[in-house]
Amino acid sequence: MQPHFHFGLHPEHGVVARATAAITPHLADWYLQHEQFEPVPGRPDLYRLTRPDQDLRRRARQTVHDLRRHGFTVHADLSLDPAVTAAPPCPAQTNCLAERRARIAQAASARSPQHRAGASPQVTAPAMPSAVTRSSTVARTR
């Protein structure tokens, strides 16, 4: 089966993509521009990844992955193919729930800096204005 897209590295343009005859040009143009590729001036069949200074290989690998997930057949250089090369190492995930519970327990056991030591908390009830109570009493009696 002929691939729909070819991806590779170009010495002048960075990561480039080219659609094949297996996909219509306007559909290929839409998908590639949606994935942050732009047409190379003077080469209507060639697209380059925009902003080459921002994590070029990861973005190219993500594009290959996204197009395959949409059902397209993609041929890519080995360094750009997420099926062949390993993903970059992810930071080790810790037990977030246990850490959260430990922080909550520590906060609950500590004394609040808003209250002075030895002072009893003051509890006050909101005062109701006398005009409000009189008007409600008058309204009930009518």
Distance CA 47, CA 41 (A): 9
pTM of the full structure? 0.56
CB contact at 8 A, 33 and 46: no
Whether the predicted pLDDT of 4 surpasses 80: yes
What average pLDDT score do residues 93-119 get?
75
Share the mean pLDDT of the chain: 79
Please report, for the chain, the start and end positions of each structural domain, with discontinuous segments joined by +.
5-80
Which range has the worst mean pLDDT, 34-38, 42-46, 62-66, 90-94?
90-94
